[in-house]
C-alpha cells in the first residue's frame, strides 16, 4: 500500500524547491498547482491559441523543473516561472510562422469553457460583458510584441525588471514598449467603436 502524499499546500516556495532538489520530485506538483492558471493565461494571451498555450505551459514546466536548482531562494516562484512561460511563448511564436487568430469560441482553461461562454453570463451587467469583449477583440488586433508585453505585465503581473529579464531588454525599454502597447490598445478599441 502506498502511503498518502503529504499536504504541501502550506509549504513556502523555498521549502518546495528544497524538497524537489532533494529528490522529492512529487513536491513539484504543488508548484504546478499554485501557478498553472496564471501560466496558462499568460501563454494563451501571448500565443492566442489554446493548443499552443498548453504546449508552452508544458514545456515551461519541464524547463523550470530542470532549472530549479538555479532558482534564487527567497524569491517568489511565480514570477520566475512566468518569465520562463513568457520566453517559451515568444520563442514558440518566432519559430512558427502560422498562427490562427484566437476565437471567442476556442476552449479556455478549466474545463474548456470559451471566452464567449465565460462572458455571456445572463446575470452579468451587459455593458461590462460588451466592454470585456471589446477589449479582447482589440487585444487580438495588437502586434505580437504589444500582446506579449501587455500579457506579461497585466496577466502575468510581472515586474518591469522581470519583463526586462525575460525579453533581454533594459527596464526603460520595457516601460516605453508598455506605453506604446497601451496606446495601441486604446487606438484599436477606438477603431472597434467606430465600426459599431
Q: What is the 3-state secondary structure (H, E, C) of 9-37?
A: CCCCHHHHHHHHHCCCHHHHHHHHHHHHH
Cα separations in angstroms, 1 against 8, 28, 52, 143: 21, 22, 39, 54
CA distance 183 to 91: 25
CA distance 52 to 38: 15
pLDDT digits (tens, 9 = 90+) for 133-173: 888 888 888 888 888 899 889 888 888 998 888 888 999 99
Q: What does the pLDDT read at residue 156?
A: 82
pLDDT digits (tens, 9 = 90+) for 31-85: 999 999 999 999 998 888 899 999 999 999 999 999 998 988 778 899 999 999 9
CA distance 64 to 21: 12
* Winning range, highest mean pLDDT, from 105-119, 123-137, 173-187: 173-187
CA distance 192 to 66: 44
What cell does 5 get?
502524499
Whether the CB-CB separation of 134 and 192 falls below 8 Å is answered with yes
Residue ranges of domains in the chain, CATH in brackets: 10-98 (1.10.1740.10), 114-196 (1.10.10.10)
Q: What does the pLDDT read at residue 4?
A: 66
Q: Which of 58-62, 100-104, 127-131 has the lowest mean pLDDT?
A: 100-104
Reply yes or no on whether the pLDDT at 120 is more than 70: no
This prediction has a pTM of 0.69
Burial class (CB in 10 A: 0-12, 13-18, 19+), 30: buried
Half-sphere exposure of 23 (CA within 13 A, CB side): 0
DSSP helix/strand/coil, 148: helix
Among the listed residues 30, 155, 26, 16, the one whose alpha carbon sits nearest the alpha carbon of residue 85: 155
Q: Which of 12-16, 71-75, 109-113, 172-176 has the lowest mean pLDDT?
A: 109-113
What's the chain's average pLDDT?
81
Burial class (CB in 10 A: 0-12, 13-18, 19+), 172: exposed
Amino acid at each position: 500500500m502506498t502511503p498518502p502524499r503529504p499536504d504541501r499546500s502550506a509549504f513556502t516556495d523555498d521549502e518546495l524547491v528544497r524538497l524537489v532538489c532533494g529528490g522529492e520530485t512529487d513536491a513539484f506538483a504543488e508548484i504546478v498547482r499554485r501557478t498553472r492558471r496564471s501560466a496558462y493565461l499568460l501563454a494563451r494571451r501571448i500565443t492566442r491559441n489554446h493548443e499552443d498555450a498548453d504546449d508552452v505551459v508544458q514545456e515551461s514546466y519541464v524547463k523550470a523543473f530542470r532549472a530549479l536548482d538555479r532558482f534564487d531562494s527567497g524569491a517568489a516562484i511565480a514570477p520566475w516561472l512566468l518569465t520562463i512561460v513568457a520566453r517559451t511563448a515568444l520563442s514558440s511564436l518566432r519559430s512558427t510562422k502560422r498562427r490562427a487568430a484566437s476565437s471567442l469560441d476556442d476552449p479556455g482553461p478549466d474545463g474548456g469553457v470559451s471566452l464567449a461562454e465565460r462572458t455571456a453570463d445572463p446575470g452579468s451587467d451587459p455593458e461590462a460583458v460588451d466592454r470585456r469583449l471589446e477589449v479582447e477583440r482589440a487585444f487580438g488586433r495588437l502586434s505580437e510584441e504589444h500582446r506579449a508585453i501587455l500579457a506579461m505585465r497585466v496577466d502575468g503581473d510581472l515586474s518591469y525588471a522581470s519583463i526586462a529579464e525575460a525579453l533581454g531588454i533594459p527596464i526603460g525599454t520595457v516601460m516605453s514598449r508598455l506605453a506604446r502597447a497601451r496606446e495601441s490598445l486604446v487606438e484599436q478599441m477606438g477603431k472597434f467603436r467606430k465600426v459599431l
